[in-house]
């Protein structure tokens, strides 16, 4: 993967993500889900957002070592003035919603779908895992966005969770 084209100080590119808002009715797994969209320009204007990306919902590192740490440290993020915590992956919005429900994210972490990693790829933040049967995915990265301006962006240099993990992001807030 080459270096990301987005840098600290840049304005976040417009993005629209498929999303299923959590509601208590979803916990019975029989309720019809209502799809929605997150529009970064509209929904994140004036807000402090922590966005982290994983290559795939339910994949081992993402499922065990990445998302759960953000959930565990939710109160610490809120104490530092974060309005929105969101995870993005190339999975469809139904998979992302199922993963978020399985993890117990509820309204704490938004699970956003970047199908085909189109938005992430536009910033050189995608990875081709076709040889592993996964296709093009979002890379493992994290951003801090304040009123649509990127304040932190780091991409994992190797497998595992370091610069995109909850601890690293908290340290930069």
Domain boundary assignment for the chain: 16-172
Structural tokens at position 163: 């610069």
Share above pLDDT 70 across residues of the chain, in percent, rounded to a whole number: 89
Which helix (H) or strand (E) element contains residue 7?
none
List the single range of 34-38, 73-77, 86-90, 103-107 with lowest mean pLDDT: 34-38
pLDDT at position 130 over 70: no
Half-sphere exposure of 64 (CA within 13 A, CB side): 4
Q: Is 61:159 a contact under the CB 8 Å cutoff? A: yes
Please give the CATH topology (third level) of the domain spanning 16-172. Answer: Glutaredoxin (3.40.30)
Share above pLDDT 90 across residues of the chain, in percent, rounded to a whole number: 61
From the candidates 12, 38, 51, 62, which is the catalytic residue? 62
Between CA 110 and CA 150 the distance in angstroms is 19
Ramachandran sector of residue 55 (left: φ over 0; alpha: ψ -120 to 50; beta: rest): alpha
pLDDT at residue 60, as a whole number: 64
How confident is the model over 93-126, as pLDDT tens digits?
Answer: 989 998 998 899 999 999 999 988 899 999 989 8
Reported pTM:
0.91
Residue of higher predicted confidence among 104 and 26: 104
Which helix (H) or strand (E) element contains residue 17?
strand 16-19
pLDDT at position 33 over 80: no
Sequence-separated (6 or more) residues with CB below 8 Å from residue 149: 9, 10, 11, 12
105 is known as an active-site residue: no
Structural tokens at position 134: 């996964």
Mean pLDDT of the chain: 89
Look at residue 132 and give its three-state secondary structure: helix
Torsion of CA 92, 108, 48, 142, to 10 degrees: -50
Q: Residue 52's closest CA among 61, 22, 41?
A: 61
């Amino acid at each position: 993967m080459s270096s990301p084209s987005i840098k600290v100080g840049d304005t976040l590119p417009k993005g629209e993500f498929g999303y299923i808002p959590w509601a208590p009715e979803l916990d019975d797994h029989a309720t019809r889900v209502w799809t929605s969209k997150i529009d970064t320009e509209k929904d994140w204007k004036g807000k402090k957002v922590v966005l982290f990306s994983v290559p795939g919902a339910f994949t081992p590192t993402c499922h065990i070592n990445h998302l759960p740490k953000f959930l565990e440290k939710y109160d610490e993020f809120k104490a530092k003035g974060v309005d929105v915590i969101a995870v993005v992956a190339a999975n469809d919005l139904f998979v992302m919603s199922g993963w978020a429900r399985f993890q117990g994210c509820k309204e704490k972490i938004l699970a956003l779908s970047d199908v085909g990693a189109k938005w992430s790829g536009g910033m050189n933040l995608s990875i081709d895992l076709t040889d592993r049967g996964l296709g093009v995915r979002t890379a493992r990265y994290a951003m801090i966005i304040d009123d649509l301006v990127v304040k932190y962006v780091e991409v994992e240099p190797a497998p595992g969770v370091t610069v995109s993990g909850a601890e690293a992001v908290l340290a930069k807030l």
